[in-house]
């Protein structure tokens, strides 16, 4: 799959793209069918919410599931990433953020490069986040909210928050967020299941709690140029993989073809 010139220009201007229903209902069903088994596992890759037992984020899924091993090589994700970044890309992080009905907690305002640089010593803010919505995401169930154009601010001041949720995160302060929102405004990344989001490493984003009866499950793949790899190994492999092998795309039907019995 290739992005159009207009989509590339929009990505450069806004800092993100929302591509509705890029994966079919049948493909999303294959992806969702894996989750009960993966979420039930008690292992460090599954982070649970601060209150209760709901899974907040489940990591390294491509090493735990054949289906997700195919998804991280899917041409509808790898193709656009190669177009935007060029060259050899490695799989930096693979997860599903669950935000379960009634209990999914907040993701504070942040941009990912603060963590990638501060924790992992990634030199430049080049990595791309490629998301697939696995549920319908609407205005109520905790959509990811982007601050349009906030990527142009570059590395905004960030501090490590280990208190608010179960997941330590380098967050952006209120005054900086207010300034960025005044400039660019907010966009809620809503859409039907199968919608793809693409955003860069300095785009400020966050999401509020899910107080609805509707789960809000989102797959996330982070790809980073091999030439821009991590330089510190203080976080575990599942938070930033050490395998720098360039990702090679599979065929477009890879999720359904091999899922057949
Ligand atoms: C979220 O799942 O709402 C946050 C995702 C992210 O920070 O990429
Ligand atoms: Mn993020």
pLDDT tens digits along 63-117: 999 999 999 999 999 999 999 999 899 999 999 999 999 999 999 999 999 999 9
Question: Residues 174-197: what's their mean pLDDT?
Answer: 98
The CATH fold of domain 5-230: Jelly Rolls (2.60.120)
Six-digit token pair at 103?
A: 């209990």
Cα separation, 182 vs 173, whole angstroms:
14
Beta bridge partners of 245: none
Q: Is 189 in the pocket of ligand 1 (CB under 6 A)?
A: no
pLDDT beyond 70 at 43: yes
What pLDDT is attached to residue 87? 81
| Integer CA distances (angstroms), 256 to 27, 131, 174, 176, in order | 6, 19, 44, 44
Helix 75-85 with 5-14: angle, nearest 10 deg? 70
Six-digit token pair at 2?
A: 């290739």
Q: Is 107 in the pocket of ligand 1 (CB under 6 A)?
A: yes
C-alpha atoms less than 13 angstroms from C-alpha of 132 in its C-beta half-sphere: 25
Q: How far is the CA of 130 from the centre of ligand 2 (A)?
A: 11
Domain assignments of the chain as residue spans, ordered by start: 5-230
Q: Which atom of ligand 1 is nearest to the CA of 207?
A: 3
Q: Is 97 in the pocket of ligand 1 (CB under 6 A)?
A: yes
- pTM for this entry: 0.96
Q: How far is the CA of 110 from the centre of ligand 2 (A)?
A: 6
Least confident of 2-11, 166-175, 196-205: 166-175
What pLDDT is attached to residue 10? 98
Q: How far is the CA of 107 from the centre of ligand 1 (A)?
A: 6
């Amino acid at each position: 799959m290739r992005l159009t010139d207009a989509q590339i220009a929009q990505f450069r201007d806004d800092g993100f793209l929302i591509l509705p229903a890029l994966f079919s209902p049948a493909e999303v069903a294959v992806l969702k069918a894996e989750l009960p088994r993966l979420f039930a596992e008690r292992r460090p890759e599954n982070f649970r919410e601060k209150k209760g037992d709901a899974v907040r984020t489940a990591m390294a899924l491509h090493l735990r599931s054949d289906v997700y091993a195919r998804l991280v090589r899917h041409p509808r994700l790898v193709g656009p990433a190669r177009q935007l970044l060029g060259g050899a890309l490695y799989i930096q992080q693979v997860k599903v953020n669950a935000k379960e009905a009634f209990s999914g907690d907040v993701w504070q305002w942040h941009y990912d490069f603060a963590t990638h640089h501060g924790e992992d010593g990634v030199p430049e803010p080049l990595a791309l986040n490629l998301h697939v919505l696995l549920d319908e995401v609407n205005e109520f169930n905790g959509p990811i909210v982007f601050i349009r154009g906030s990527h142009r601010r570059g590395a905004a001041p960030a501090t490590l928050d280990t208190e608010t949720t179960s997941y330590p995160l380098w967050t952006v302060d209120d005054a900086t967020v207010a300034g960025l929102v005044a400039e660019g405004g907010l966009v809620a990344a809503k859409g039907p299941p199968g919608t793809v989001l693409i955003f860069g490493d300095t785009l400020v984003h966050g999401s509020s709690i899910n107080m609805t009866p509707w789960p809000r499950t989102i797959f996330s793949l982070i790809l980073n140029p091999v030439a821009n790899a991590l330089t510190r190994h203080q976080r575990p492999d599942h938070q930033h993989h050490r395998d720098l092998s360039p990702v090679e795309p599979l065929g477009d039907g890879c999720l359904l073809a091999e899922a057949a019995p």
